[in-house]
Amino acid sequence: SNGYFTYDPGFMATSACESKITFIDGDKGILLHGGYPIEQLAEKSDYLETCYLLLNGELPNAAQKEDFVSRVMNHTMVHEQLQFFYRGFRRDAHPMAVMCGVVGALSAFYHDNLDINDPEHRRIAAIRLIAKMPTMAAMSYKYSAGQPFMYPRNDLGYAENFLHMMFATPCADYKVNPIVARAMDRIFVLHADHEQNASTSTVRLTGSTGANPYACIAAGIAALWGPSHGGANEAVLKMLDEIGDVSKLDDFIKRVKDKNDSTKLMGFGHRVYKNFDPRAKVMKQTCDEVLTALGIHDPQLELAMKLEEIALNDEYFVSRKLYPNVDFYSGIILKAIGIPTSMFTVIFALGRTPGWIAHWLEMHSAPYKISRPRQLYTGPVQRDFVPMDKR
Ligand code: SDX
């Protein structure tokens, strides 16, 4: 017990690892980063300040924040040759496939002179990854759109710069709407870290072998891609597309409840939250704000809200404690901003980078052993080899 939270010895004996970064209470729907509730960070902080908190365990003072923001915004360019990695992909390659490849390729550019046993080198790698992810993410979109890559601009804010690299072209600048930039920044905050989820556990497990941080983050991106994890935001929009309109909701819910049908209500349910995901509440509020401010009437928002209302009052979902998670409303905001569905999980990976890196740094901050999960063997007992003529 650390005076706040007490775990039974059995849990501690089996838990994957201890961490100071993020606390989740799935029954109460609580998410804290460094002790600060996600609702307060989403409303009062911003993404780079949250990145600083995840990496250092404390909110920065004004001078610390200015220095951190400057270091990040002055490392946003990627090595010019990295562009050639994109050109090896087909134009219709999924941006997550591109990100797995290109982020892993950073090892070939920045790893050689990196000594992961040197804390300062590890912090430089952390800054580089947080700084370069938006550039690489935007490049994966530009490549798929057949448009020229846009260079980052150090004079813009973090979210503004990402939107600039996504939507500006050499022929026309992109005027970033402050409401859209604020919503984008808040979406990054809401995705920044989430304890020992599948992709973060992947980063920690990969890091425990001594692999370089770029390879570890590439492994995290690969794990995030699955529809049960970060791929769910893209799957929610596909689900809403397939349902079509509110008249089809009852049939859809019937299919979800049918034991013989594998249809799931994407954006609902969670391994830990058996109550509302606090991020989903903020995301829904942000969704309302952005669509209203932009004067967008999106029938899919109404469809999602109706679906949520039905599910929250249906015994199948209530008895299984299935509530909306972070992915249920995020796609509707991203679509309103003009981001294509194929980029939704890339946005999740971008937002989650400081969390992955913070866990990688935390693992390196003390002596560690290679992760080696054990198993319960259920195969055949030992037996002798059978020659071919006896099989
Ligand atoms: C993320 O771990 C993290 O923190 C992840 C994440 C993060 O920030 O890193 O929070 C991000 O990954 C959020 C989850 C996004 N995924 C989805 O929205 C996909 C849809 N959700 C499901 O695939 C599912 O809810 C999971 C994968 C999220 C959790 O699956 P579990 O662990 O099997 O859920 P469970 O044990 O609570 O399931 C209990 C029952 C089962 O039915 P029975 O066998 O009891 O009859 O509920 C059913 C499940 O089949 N169920 C669902 C469902 N989720 C669970 N039925 C229909 N629709 C769903 N979405």
147-203 residue pLDDT tens: 999 999 999 999 999 999 999 999 999 999 999 999 999 999 999 999 999 999 999
pLDDT in tens, 263-300: 999 999 999 999 899 999 999 999 999 999 999 999 99
Instruction: State residue 8's pLDDT score.
Output: 53
Choice from 31, 228, 258 to test ligand 1 binding pocket (greatest atom count within 8 A of CB): 228
The atom of ligand 1 lying closest to the CA of 229 is: 12
The atom of ligand 1 lying closest to the CA of 277 is: 10
Choice from 22, 197, 264 to test ligand 1 binding pocket (greatest atom count within 8 A of CB): 264
Measured in Å, residue 229 CA sits from the centre of ligand 1 at: 9
pLDDT at 112 over 80: no
Between CA 98 and CA 149 the distance in angstroms is 14
pLDDT at 16 over 70: no
The atom of ligand 1 lying closest to the CA of 270 is: 28
- Nearest residue (by CA) to ligand 1, atom 15, is 229
Between CA 290 and CA 362 the distance in angstroms is 36
Choice from 271, 279, 308, 318 to test ligand 1 binding pocket (greatest atom count within 8 A of CB): 271
Looking at residues 323-343, what average pLDDT do you find?
94
pLDDT at 17 over 90: no
Instruction: State residue 12's pLDDT score.
Output: 45
Active site residue ranges = 270, 327
Measured in Å, residue 270 CA sits from the centre of ligand 1 at: 4
Instruction: State residue 7's pLDDT score.
Output: 54
In this structure, the residues whose C-beta lies within 6 A of any atom of ligand 1 are: 194, 197, 228-229, 232, 256, 264-272, 320, 322, 325-327
pLDDT at 5 over 80: no
